[in-house]
Amino acid sequence: MSKNSKEKMAALKKKQDKGWIIAIIVTLIIVAIAMGITIYKRAESQKPYPYDLSKYVKVGEYKDLPYYTPTVEVTDEDVQSELDSFLNSKAITETVLEGIVEEGDKINIAFVGKIDGEEFEGGTSESFDLTVGVTSMIDGFVEGLIGKKIGETVQLDLQFPDDYSNAEVAGKPVVFDVTINNKSVTTVPELTDELVAENTDFETIDAYKEDIRSKLLETREQNAESEIKSKLWHIITHESEALDYPEAELAEAVARVDASEAQYKSQAASYGLSWEDYLSMFLQTDEEGFAQMKDEAAHDNVLADMVMYQIARTEKVKYSNREFKADLADILERNDLTEEDFQNYYGMTVEEYAEENNWKNSLFLEKVLDKVKALGREVTEEEFNEFYDAFEEAHAEPVEETEETTEEAAEGEAAEGETAEEAAEGEAEEVAEEAAEEATEEATEEAAEGEAEEAAEEAAEEATEEAAEEATEGEAEKAAEEAAEETSGSN
C-alpha cells in the first residue's frame, strides 16, 4: 500500500460502519435494513421490470413537493474531537513492572482464593486483567489493591455477599492471595506538525484541521440532504398504490425475505437466544407477526421498485455505466483512497464490491430523487417540517382501544358519579377523604407500573447490549423502529 494506506482504509471502514461512505447513496431499501433483505441483482443486459408499469402501479404525487436547503455547521469542538480520536489512535500502550496501583489503572493479577483453608472452583487465576474503578469484583477486592506496588503479593480477607450468584460460596468468608503482575500504561502523543506530517497527507496542524473541518461539513451536508430525500421518498411511496404485482418480481422478493429468516435464526443462536426470544427482543413480534412482516416486506419492496422505475421512465431519468463508474471514482476520491488501496483492503475492486452490494440501484434512486427535487418547490426548514409532520399525522395508524382501557374508563365514570352524588348529599368531607385515598392508590399503582416498565426496559437494554457486542454498532431498537416506520416506502 501507499503511504498511510492502512490508516486510510481503517478510516474508510469506520466511515462505512457509520454509514458515512454511503451518505450519498440515499435510502438503500429501508426494508433491507430492518429485515436483512438484500436487493436482487439482475444480469446487466436484463431490463428491470420490463412491463408497462402503469398497469401495475399508481404513483403518488411527486411533483411540487416541498424541500429545503439544509444549513449545517462544524464547531471547534467537533474538530477537536476528531483530533483527539487521531491522537488516541497513535497512543502507545506499554506493560510496566514497577509503580503503584492507582484509580483507573489497567492491571494484570494472579490470585488464589481459599475458603476454610481450601481452594475452591473458580477462585484461582494465573492471569486476570482488570481496570481499577471499573471492573466489578466482590467488595474489598479491587479496593485492597489500590496503593500497592507492582510485583507485590497482597492478602485480602473478604466475604462473599449473601446474594452471590454461586450459592456454594455465598455469605462465606474467603481469603485471596493476590499478586500484582503488571500494569498497562497508555501514552497519548502530543499534537505537533511533525506528528501530522508523519501520519497524514498534511504538513501542519492547521492544514490538517482545515481538512477535518471541510470533510465534517461535507458529511453533514450529505447526511442532511439524505434525510430530506428519504422523507420525500417516504411520502411518495406511501401515496403510491400497487394495482397488481408482477409474479416474477414478487416471487423473487418472497424468496429473499424467506432466506432472511435463516440469517436471523443463525444470529439468534449466536446470541444464545431462542427464536421466540429473539423475535420478541429485536423485532418486537412473534412467529405469526414475523410471517406477516415478511409478506408485507416483499410486497413493499416490489412496490417501491415499481415507483422508482415508473418515475424514472416518465421523467426520462437515465443512469449510464459511465456515470456509475464516475460516481465510484468520486467515492474513492472523497475518502482519499486509490483503487489499489480499496482492492488491497476488501480483496476485490470497487466495481466488484459495488456490484455485490448493488450500489448502482441505490445511486439510480439518488438521481430519481434529484429529479423529484428539481420538480419541487423550495421552502424554509420550518415549513418543510410542518408539512412532513402533518403528513405523518394524517397517515398515523389509529390506536386501538383495548377492553381494559374501556373498563377503566367506565370505572372512572362510575366513581365520578358516586363522588358527585355524595357531594350533592352534603358528605363533602367524606368524599374528599375517599378521593384522596383513591388518588393515592392510583398514584401508587401507576408508580409501581412505571417501575415495572422501567425495569423491563432496563432488562431489555442490558440483553441488547450483550448481544450487540458481536453485532454492529448502534442502537438496535431505534434502528428497527425507524426502519419499520419507513418499511413501505423504501427501495
pLDDT tens for residues 193-209?
A: 999 999 999 999 999 99
Using DSSP, state whether 130 is helix, strand or coil: strand
> Which pLDDT tens digit goes with each residue over 52-70?
999 999 999 999 999 999 9
Measured CA to CA, the distance from residue 268 to residue 279 in angstroms comes to: 9
158-189 per-position pLDDT tens digit: 999 999 989 999 999 999 999 999 999 999 99
Whole-number Å distance between alpha carbons of 193 and 199: 10
What pLDDT is stored for residue 478 in this prediction?
A: 42
Q: DSSP 3-state assignment of 240?
A: coil
The per-residue pLDDT of the chain, averaged, comes to: 79
What is the secondary structure of 53-99 as a DSSP string?
Answer: GGGTEEPPP-SS-EE--------HHHHHHHHHHHHHHT-EEEEES-S
Coil/strand/helix, residue 225? helix
- Tens-digit pLDDT profile for residues 59-104: 999 999 999 999 999 999 999 999 999 999 999 999 999 999 999 9
Rounded to whole angstroms, how far apart are CA atoms 25 and 354?
11
436, with CB counted inside 10 A (0-12, 13-18, 19+), is exposed
